[in-house]
Structure 1
Amino acid sequence: MKSNRKAPSKENRADFLKQFQSCFFSTSRPALFPWNLLEKDLESSKSSQLILDVLNQTCLHPHCKKFPPSARYRKYFLGELIRRVEAADCEPLDQLYDALGEVLSAQEGAEGYRTFLLPCGGTVSLLENLALISEGTTGLVTWDAALYLAEWALDHPQTFAGRKVLELGSGLGFTGVTVCRSCSPSKYVFSDGHGSVLRRLEDNVRLNRLFQEETPPEVSVEELDWSNVTEQHLDAIDADVVIAADVVYDPDIVPVLVQLLSRILRRKCGRVLPDVFICSTVRNRQTYEGFTKQLGDAGIGHRVISEAVSHVFEYEPASELELIKLYLR
């Protein structure tokens, strides 16, 4: 059955191209691209002009030269464009085949860039591994919980504005770079405990020029071993806000995480308690409920933050996402 959606009008053409650009640079799944609108335009106009416009916002965009998605992804994307041009019997477009030739000659590596467009007009660019698990860790890719937590932060900048933020298990740094770019914290500490992740995290923070900015926030990347972090280290960070995304996935590390969260919540007793937010992809309900039970056993309550979050980034979570705020009982 044919779609009844119309080709993009002049009024919404910019939004259409922006969606293609956002999906392409964030290496989104095929279903998230507005292919129907593109096909309608090709069928009605028999012109490749819209394809050229799409190319100029994706593979031919200057950002793609500097931070290209993987060669494998660009090859897939150009193949989809060519398939639709040929199906609509449109005029050939040399730039399209030239771009494909360039990608076919490129060496396929184990890494690629992902770039996310921010509402403020800025971007977050990250170098990621293509494999979900590499170098003995899952921390070299960006997971859905980090995207969701960043979207919540964009909706609640007042939670971070002028405050000192500690992120546990920062991974590649997506949430933190977004908060630094859009929410005006006074200080931001990225942290992780895996050597390979820390090296890539520092590279990505540098890639996004956070170390070079003269205005706040003050930014650092620190190794934080949850089982051995000292009170002196926590005192030096002196966080007003603590966040973490996708850190509840292994039942073996949950007790150590809960112990650390308990220490963080209790170290400011008698003063203002830090705000602590944990965002999780609930892949295994038993593991997640084990985490919340251990929180309760440690005298820590939690409130599920259930209000709607503005959808900013191009992704569709494969599992349930849950954001909770912790408090001492």
Structure 2
Amino acid sequence: MDSLIRKIRQRVPVKYLEDISTAELALNTQRLLRECELIANRNPYYILTFLKSAIKRLEQDNCELDDELFEFFSELLGAKPLSPTDFEVITYSIKAAERVEKDSIIEINESPQLISGYGTTGRRTWEAALYLSNYLLENPDLVPGKTVLELGAGTGLVSLALGKYTGASSIVVTDGDANLIENLGATLKLNNISKDDPKWIFQSLLWGEDQVPDGVDILVGADITYDSTIIPVLLQTITAAFLQNPNLVVYISATIRNEETIAVWDNSIAQSDIQCSVISYSSCPNQDLKDSGIWYSVTTPEIRIYELRK
């Protein structure tokens, strides 16, 4: 049931939620009802669709239906799907590492159905951000006492994971789109973070134009190599940051959607004086990362994490 709850919170498509037995559904209907009631405040159509599927399966297996659950389902009839540009709150539960008792819970106010054709990729959370967050939380010695800056933060998931669940001394959240930084206000409230907290710094940063602030120990970025035309200015920004701090460490997580684009990144790195290595990868996230607490679509391609040093 824990796995199902995580998936519902992440808004996994209903067709991928049929791996739980109907017996377990029948035994946990009250817990499931409580969860559905919470999520229905954010996306009633999703819960309507899920309950329709769950009730159908229970009926097919001759399981007794919970009256309260069926009544709640009836109340949702007529709910309409959200549009691709609508915001809703998505909850990501990164499964706790052995050293930690509880899962890492991060809530993001985003447009999960938005695609780049609507003018921005920064209003939804992409797979490489989830993968990088999980990696950094699984390697606790990388961050404590350090100032971390995220490039192209988008929804801010990586920054939030670091700020909430590691010993980072300061988190600098940056994006080239000032509106995205402004939109983080709702997400911060969801995670009980105040913009006035001196640990957190929020600012616009245009690659190739703006400098990385002094005092940064670690740069992170997720899914920021998707466009070959921006790779030169991205590397320009990283190179300039190395000049400010030769001991800087950079972690870039990339989803390999286009071999030609990632080749531009690899070749550009090879022609620079930056040392680069792939420190983690998953060739099939849907299969490899089932125990991470995060669901990845069967269509998610390979994800890599690059470590860059001077």
Common fold: TM-score over 0.5: yes
From the superposition, tell whether residues 240 and 41 of structure 1 become closer, same or farther in structure 2 (CA, over 3 Å): closer
Query: Where does residue 226 of structure 1 map in the other structure?
Result: 207
Query: Where does residue 117 of structure 1 map in the other structure?
Result: 93
CA distance in 1, matches of 2:227, 2:151: 15
String of CA shifts for 1:288-309, please: whole Å, max 9, x gaps.
1101211222221211113789
List aligned pairs for 1:1-329, cutoff 5 A.
Answer: 17-30=1-14, 33=17, 35-41=18-24, 48-56=26-34, 58-61=35-38, 64=39, 68-106=41-79, 108-109=81-82, 110-118=86-94, 119=96, 120-129=102-111, 130-133=113-116, 135-211=118-194, 218-230=199-211, 234-235=213-214, 238-269=215-246, 273-306=247-280, 311-316=291-296, 318-328=300-310
Residue 265 of structure 1 and its aligned partner are, at CA, apart by 1.5
CA distance in 2, matches of 1:280, 1:121: 24
Q: Which amino acid aligns with 1:281?
A: T
From the superposition, tell whether residues 182 and 274 of structure 1 become closer, same or farther in structure 2 (CA, over 3 Å): same
CA distance in 2, matches of 1:82, 1:93: 10
Query: Where does residue 6 of structure 1 map in the other structure?
Result: none
TM-score for both structures, normalised by structure 2: 0.85
Q: Which amino acid aligns with 1:275?
A: V
8 Å Cα contact 1:134-1:140 kept in structure 2: no
Q: SS at 2:228's partner residue? A: coil
Q: SS at 1:305's partner residue? A: strand
From the superposition, tell whether residues 159 and 201 of structure 1 become closer, same or farther in structure 2 (CA, over 3 Å): same
Residue 100 of structure 1 and its aligned partner are, at CA, apart by 2.2
Q: SS at 1:148's partner residue? A: helix
Structure 1: which 5+ residue stretches go unaligned? 1-16, 43-47
Q: Which runs of 4+ in 1 moved over 6 A?
A: 307-310
Residue 91 of structure 1 and its aligned partner are, at CA, apart by 2.5
8 Å Cα contact 1:38-1:50 kept in structure 2: no
Q: SS at 1:244's partner residue? A: strand
CA distance in 1, matches of 2:9, 2:107: 9
Q: SS at 2:130's partner residue? A: helix
From the superposition, tell whether residues 137 and 234 of structure 1 become closer, same or farther in structure 2 (CA, over 3 Å): same
From the superposition, tell whether residues 30 and 312 of structure 1 become closer, same or farther in structure 2 (CA, over 3 Å): same
CA distance in 2, matches of 1:36, 1:135: 33
Q: SS at 1:139's partner residue? A: coil
Q: How many residues align?
A: 292
8 Å Cα contact 1:144-1:315 kept in structure 2: no
8 Å Cα contact 2:14-2:49 kept in structure 1: no
Q: SS at 1:211's partner residue? A: coil
Residue 240 of structure 1 and its aligned partner are, at CA, apart by 0.6
Q: For the pair shown, which has the larger CA radius of gyration, 1 or 2?
A: 1
